Amino acid sequence: MAHVDPSGKAFPTLLNDCILRAARGEPTDFVPVWIMRQAGRYLPEFRELRSKHPFFEICETPDLACQVTLMPIKRFDLDAAIIFSDILIIPQALGMEVLMSGKGPEFPDPLKQDENLEDRLDFNVVIENRLSHAYKAISITRHALEGRCPLIGFSGAPWTLMCYMIEGGGSKTMSKAKKWLYQEPGKSRQLLDLLAEKVTDHLVSQVKSGAQLVQIFESNAEYLTLDLFREFALPQILKICSNFKNRLQALGIDKNSVPVIVFAKGGHYAMDDLTKAENSIDIIGLDWTMDPLSVRQKTNKCLQGNLDPCALYTNSLELTEKTRQMLNRFGTQNYIANLGHGIYPDADFDRVKTFIDNVHSISRQMNSSK
């Protein structure tokens, strides 16, 4: 990882490297834990700030993004922070308008099959310049964390971004985006290649400015078949991971020092393929429908996940029991605890604290009783 920010100032010494150790397969005293969307609407302090600032204004204002990123870190004993940002800043950087309503993101003018991609998208955009605010946010946040825990950067995977850019909003089937794959495989590949290139740039720039791990969200894997995933999604993910690592190495950053998490939501069918991707994917994220034991049988890779986000609705006693079950199924090594999906806005933050503290205390107990 980078040890100095782009201005040359040294980052603070890392005081808790547990998640990096787990990612590298090194022994850990306890299981590290973070929560997808941990800086989100379930936090009253976030809702208050959000009532004053539009969503993308927060993303684009480094001080605000930093402030939001730190909110859950101040409340909970988390083992990683994740920069406040959004996967849709890549389509924005390519020239598309994205609005954030209460119902989720909306593209007023989504891509249409009969349009030339060159007419709609800025193929030549320099991501490092266009999204400089995002990288500034990462640098100041890593300083502000004072070494308390590592900072995660992230990006959407190309297929997932393509879905948003074509559907324009929510869809139960992603049938418009899938229609491209079936009817316009060439144009789909052109779009996916472009996205893969810009996603790689984005991930590299995040690491240069201070991110210590990165996660790639293939949130829309659930709509694909294994055949489509192998043709249109997986090759792009693997290309991103491998180019990302090579480019870090070329920048003088040890490529093994920045682990890559791939989270393919609904990608149960892809576990054989993902576990076999030996050198590029370091950590496989599991959604809440996956059986940890069956994936453990396939790989020694570090796994991440997968408590049902709705389990946070239950009482403290039941939640403790479910957390224990999860730890028993994953084991305490090569493992990063998380939910199996982003936390929902109506989650109770007392339960979040219970979950995080239980992951630590139960995994410590399990380790000490070995």
- Contacts with a copy of itself by CB under 8 A lie at 170, 172-173, 175, 178-179, 181-183, 222, 224-228, 266, 268-269, 288-291, 308-311, 313-314, 318, 325, 341, 344, 346
Nearer to a copy of itself by Cβ, of 216 and 311: the residue is 311
In whole angstroms, how close is the CB of 111 to a copy of itself at the nearest point?
A: 16
Q: Which of 17, 79, 86, 287 is catalytic?
A: 86
Quote the distance between the C-alpha of residue 324 and its chain's center.
Answer: 24
Minimum CB separation of residue 78 from a copy of itself in Å reads 23
Least distance CB 100 / a copy of itself (angstroms): 16
- Which residue in 135, 164, 223, 335 is the catalytic one? 164
What CA–CA distances, in Å, run from 254 to 80, 123, 199, 202?
20, 29, 20, 18
Contacts (Cβ under 8 Å, ≥6 apart) of 314? 322, 351
H or E stretch covering 283: strand 283-285
**Active site annotation includes 86:** yes
CA angle centred on 367, ends 362 and 342, rounded to 5° = 45
296 flagged as catalytic: no
Helix (H) or strand (E) holding 110: none
Q: Which of 17, 42, 50, 247 is catalytic?
A: 50
Q: Tell me how far, at minimum, the Cβ of 293 lies from a copy of itself, in Å.
A: 11
Catalytic residue flag (residue 164):
yes
CA 196 from centre of chain: 15
| CB of 16 or CB of 171, closer to a copy of itself | 171
Of 305, 307, 311, residue with least CA distance to 271: 305
305: alpha, beta or left? (left if phi > 0; alpha if psi -120 to 50): left
Task: Respond yes or no: is residue 269 known to be catalytic.
Answer: no
Which of residues 142 and 341 has its CB atom nearest to a copy of itself in the complex?
A: 341
Structure tokens at 341: 């999906």
Name the catalytic one among 5, 17, 37, 130.
Answer: 37
Gap between the Cα atoms of 200 and 192, Å rounded: 12
HEC string for 288-355: CCCCHHHHHCCCCCEEEEEECHHHHHCCHHHHHHHHHHHHHHHCCCCEEEEECCCCCCCCCHHHHHHH
Looking at the Cβ atoms of 140 and 165, the one nearer to a copy of itself is 165
Nearer to a copy of itself, 210 or 309 (CB): 309
- Nearest distance in Å: CB 99, a copy of itself: 18
The pair of three-digit structure tokens given for residue 179, joined into one six-digit string: 């229609």
How large is the angle between the packed helices 62-75 and 44-52, nearest 10 degrees? 160
Q: What is the 3-state secondary structure (H, E, C) of 231-269?
A: HHHHHHHHHHHHHHHHHHHHCCCCHHHCCEEEEECCCHH
Rg (CA), the chain: 20
Q: How far is the CB of 156 from a copy of itself (least distance, A)?
A: 16
Residue 120: active-site member: no
Q: Please state the closest distance from residue 178 (CB atom) to a copy of itself, in A.
A: 4
Residues assigned a catalytic role: 37, 41, 50, 86, 164
